[in-house]
Amino acid sequence: MKQLIDQASWNRREHFSFFSAFDEPFFGVVAEVDAAPALARARALGLSFFQVYLHATLTAVNQVENLRYRVENGQVYCYDQIHISPTLGRADHTFGFGFVPYHPDLWTFGASLAAEAEAVRQSTGLRLGPETARLDVIHFSAMPWVQFTGLTHARSFSHPDSIPKISVGQLRPDGNRQLMPVAVNVHHGLADGYHVGLFLEAFQQELNGRQ
């Protein structure tokens, strides 16, 4: 479900109009979060670390209204729930796009993720399709080989896009912490640094194990 935003009374009306006229309306932030609690929980539950932090990512996104805004034919809608379209790897070091629906239960979410990961492994190419083209998703990628401090994305400026893009990198030990870089790229007409900050705060709380 989604609700149309009344732009006439919307407090972001001018922001949306201004940034939507840019060739590149997206801005990006890179920050670090402490993934040690999520890593320990994954080990204790016998789950993949990827499943645990992916679920934490999506749970946090759904807590921030501005990250649920999407632009459709010049109109802005707020989706009730956002899902995830992650890049999932294969043994030959290619990847395919996936779609995993959000579920508040970690195990239910994990079952869908496992099925989609297997479907990607048994396929070739990018796996473009109706599900990966949905607007009610975030685009997600993981680069566990790189402790990055900056990130850009391939973008087609002729294609209208308002979907947030979130990427994570390699863990960096720091005392008792396991710091993980997180890159968040969002449409500036829909969200500001404040909203990215809300996401990062919620993400850290989810990584800490808030149920």
pLDDT tens digits, 51-89: 999 999 999 999 999 999 999 999 999 999 999 999 999
pLDDT at residue 210 is higher than 80: no
Residue 184 banded pLDDT, cuts 50, 70, 90: very high
Question: How far, CA to CA in Å, does 204 sit from each of 54, 161, 195?
Answer: 12, 27, 14
Residue 78 CB neighbour total at 10 angstroms: 15
Query: Whole-prediction pTM value?
Result: 0.96
Q: Cβ neighbours of residue 158 under 8 Å, at least 6 residues apart?
A: none
CATH number at residue 26: 3.30.559.10
Domains of the chain: total: 1
CB 69 within 8 A of CB 87: no
Question: How far, CA to CA in Å, does 65 sit from each of 8, 42, 95, 196?
Answer: 19, 28, 30, 11
For a pLDDT cut of 70, what percent of the chain falls above it?
A: 99
The residues facing 172 across adjacent strands are 179
Q: How many Å separate Cα 156 from the centre of its chain?
A: 19
**Largest distance between two CA atoms of the chain:** 51
Q: Give the Cα separation of 112 and 131 in Å (integer).
A: 14
* Coil vs helix vs strand at 90: coil
CB 95 within 8 A of CB 142: no
Task: Please give the residue range of the domain that contains residue 74.
Answer: 2-207
| Helical packing angle, 36-45 and 193-207, nearest 10° | 40
pLDDT at 112: 98
209: left (phi over 0), alpha (psi -120 to 50) or beta: left
pLDDT at 5: 98
159 versus 103: the higher-pLDDT residue is 103
